[in-house]
Structure 1
């Protein structure tokens, strides 16, 4: 059996797919993964014995550029859709199923429709799936009118935005392969039976809705890498530090300075993650340490708190480790995860994407309080780690059901 996994985005979009790929291989499945051609994604996949099949442009330069990543989205989307139809079609012809994730997975359902193979769309957070219980994520290309507040009306506008951005290119490619046009691009991609790869405690799906959502739990890629000797020495040299990092995101202006000053104001040491924003230390005092690529699963159990951007993966990693969190949300689903952390009492949600020393200090006081630590510690044992195995078996079961029976 051969399965194609397709994603396009930052590390938070790619790493869960690597976790699923590892579990599928353990079940004897041959796996192919289409992802952006960034070196670190190739390294992630190489670590589980799966080569990266590159598609589109590298994502890291776009995230680090002077212009926001959404600046050229209409043109880039047309180019990416064309590349997807060409490459994914060729790859999927030799596969038994396709799993896709991300806003840009426009070609995947059409390719599988043409080939007659199973297709599953997966979201890493409930907030991006249509539901009367929450509004859609704000659209940076087509902002919603401020006077519209009804969730149903907002989801209708969201669908219109998808059609405006992707509809013409999608339907042109569908016509070229003999398929009829679609009038709702978003629902065509998501289907009425999407998967939700989020922990049920951290990011529960709320019923009832018109979607038949299968919540597998988060797809976690096990990390066995040891911490470096220098980092281990720093951790052992004093009380647990506060970790701060913004992952694959652009960081707010003066993020490192603000974070270090706020952490020091609480009498704590600071551990700064460079990330894609290339954060750095602000002086040579020995109460701060900077790290590059690091095993968060191992590290977060040894820190006093985690200050981060609110990506689904980082939020889940900190919750699994029992580390109190301060979420400084930047875009897309990150305000949702900030709200969940605050609602669960396992940390604080910073108001807005650009903290000051004072505002971050206030959030840290909440996160570092003994009762917050107690709730975070108690919740750690409830976070599931079997999401990727569950999804791998689910995919195999669905493929078995779709295979025609062989008569004697």
Structure 2
């Protein structure tokens, strides 16, 4: 079978697709990945063909606020994004039997599959991307969203309108391919039979009329890399440290200082992931270590707690490792996952997206309580690891 896996976004969007690609390749299937150019080395490192789409995204992770685009800038960005996707996917899907769209921004995927007469599957990474009266849609503060600002039905209606900006450029390309126009862009992209590539304990799907959702479990890429000698030496030099990281998203101002000072206030050492935000240490004291790309699956088993932004991948990895969590949500599904971590008793949802030393110290102190650590250890054994195998069986 020949499979095209495509996604748009940062590492949290790409990593699950890479995991599924690796599993399909091990089963002997022909697989290709279409994703932002930042991830070429990772995909090609697995000997999987890579087709870039859109611009590099790493610059979006720098610390600090960015003004929302003007309506004209936003319209131009959307038109460019959609055009780039149709160009890349039309080429990448040649000879394929199925297109799997990971995440929620693969605007061209279904249309290209329809034009080529092949199967199309959309997979969300969190329940909040799929409409249901049981939860609110993802939160995007830069678009004026605030958590809990209205009832779920109203919020889902607003969410549907957010996709309208894609309708005209999408339909222009569909017309060029001889396809009928789309009126409800969100329903078109997600279909009425989407997959949910999320763990059923961390992020369960509530049965909802109108959607036939298949929950596969999270798509996790096994990481066999050894921790560096520097990290090993730091871990062995004292009690388990607190891990701080914001992955590949933008970080609030002065986050590094708040992180390190909160750990020190509780007598803890700290490991700080530089990430795309280039987080750095505030001094050269030996109680803190700055690191780059790392095997989180190995590291999280040896830390006292994980403080992060609430991305689905990091949340799942920390839960698998049995590490207590402090989630500082910034946007999208991160607010939902912060609430899930808190409701499961495996960590703390930070109140607000911009922590201070005092607020983060308070949240971290609660996460380090013995009861939370015990809950985190208990949940660890329930997190499924067969998500890619389930997805592969469904494809075949």
Shared fold by TM > 0.5? yes
Alignment of 1:215-364 (within 5 A): 215-364=215-364
| Counterparts in 2 of 1:11 and 1:207: CA distance versus 1, 3 Å | same
* 1:65, distance to aligned residue in structure 2 (A): 8.1
**Unaligned stretches of 5+ residues in structure 2:** none
Structure with more contact order per residue of length (Cα contacts < 8 Å, sep ≥ 6): 2
Contact 2:147 2:335 in 1 (8 A): no
**Which residue pairs with 1:47 in the alignment?**
45
- Comparing 83-92 with 291-300, greater Cα deviation is found at 83-92
C-alpha spacing 1:70/1:116, structure 2 compared with 1 (3 Å): farther
Cα shift at 1:52: 1.9
Residue equivalent to 2:99: 98
- Tell me which residue corresponds to 1:31: 31
- Equivalence for 1:174: 174
Q: 1:59, 1:67 → 2: CA distance? A: 16
Displacement, 1:91?
2.3
Which moved further from structure 2: 6-15 or 131-140?
A: 131-140
Distance 1:105 1:61 in 2: 21
Provide TM-score, normalisation by structure 1.
Answer: 0.93
Task: State how far apart, in whole Å, the 2-side matches of 1:227 and 1:389 are.
Answer: 27
- SS of the counterpart of 1:294? coil
Q: Summarize the alignment of residues 110-129 of structure 1 with structure 2, pairs less than 5 Å apart.
A: 110-129=111-130
Cα deviations by residue, 1:281-333 (Å, 9 ceiling, x for unpaired): 11111111111000000000000000000000000000000000000111111
In 1, distance between residues paired with 2:158 and 2:214? 25
Contact 1:305 1:367 in 2 (8 A): yes
Rounded Cα–Cα distance in structure 2 between residues aligned with 1:344 and 1:147: 20
Q: Which residue matches 2:75? A: 74
Deviation at 1:337, TM superposition (A): 0.8
Q: Aligned partners of 1:361 and 1:330: how far apart in 2?
A: 18
Deviation at 1:146, TM superposition (A): 10
Deviation by residue 1:355-402 (Cα, 9 ceiling, x = unmatched):
111111111111100011000001100000110111111111xxxxxx
Does the CA-based 8 Å contact 1:11-1:248 persist in structure 2? yes
Q: 1:327 to 1:138 in 2, by over 3 A?
A: closer
* Aligned residue runs from structure 1 range 374-393, under 5 A: 374-393=374-393
Cα offset for 1:70? 5.8
Q: Say if 2:20 is the partner of 1:20.
A: yes
More displaced, 144-153 or 57-66? 144-153
1:60 is matched with which residue? Answer: 58
Per-residue CA shift, 1:234-264, capped at 9, x if unaligned? Answer: 0000000000010011111111111111111
8 Å CA contact 1:15–1:44 kept in 2: the answer is: no
- Structure 1, unpaired ranges of 5+: 397-408
Q: Give 3-state SS (helix, strand or coil) of 1:243's partner.
A: strand
The separation in 2 between residues aligned to 1:290 and 1:184, in whole angstroms, is 46
Q: Structure 2: how far apart are the matches of 1:106 and 1:67?
A: 27
Question: Which whole-Å CA distance do the structure 2 matches of 1:70 and 1:311 have between them?
Answer: 22
| CA deviation after TM superposition for structure 1 residue 210, in Å | 1.5
Q: Cα distance 1:147–1:324, how it changes in 2: closer, same or farther (>3 A)?
A: closer
Matches of 2:221 and 2:134 in 1, distance apart? 30
Counterparts of 1:199 and 1:187 in 2: how far apart (Å)?
Answer: 23
Cα 1:207–1:359 shift into 2, 3 Å? same
Segment of structure 1 superposing worse, 24-33 or 81-90: 81-90
Q: Find the aligned partners of 1:333 and 1:367 in 2 and give their Cα distance.
A: 21
TM-score of the aligned structures, taking structure 2 as reference length: 0.95
Provide Cα deviations, 1:169-219, integer angstroms capped at 9, x if missing partner: 011111111111111001100000111000000000011332100000000
Contact 1:4/1:99 (<8 A) preserved: yes
Separation in structure 1 between the aligned mates of residue 241 and residue 60 of structure 2, nearest angstrom: 31
C-alpha distance in 1, partners of 2:13/2:67? 15
Aligned counterpart, 2:211: 211
Match of 1:399 in 2: none
Residue 147 of structure 1 and its aligned partner are, at CA, apart by 11
Shift of 1:221: 0.6
* 8 A contact 2:201–2:382 mirrored in 1: yes
Q: Alpha-carbon deviation of 1:144?
A: 6.0
Q: Determine if contact 2:65/2:252 at 8 Å carries over to the other structure.
A: no
Write out the 4+ residue segments of structure 1 that deviate beyond 3 Å after TM superposition. Answer: 65-70, 138-148
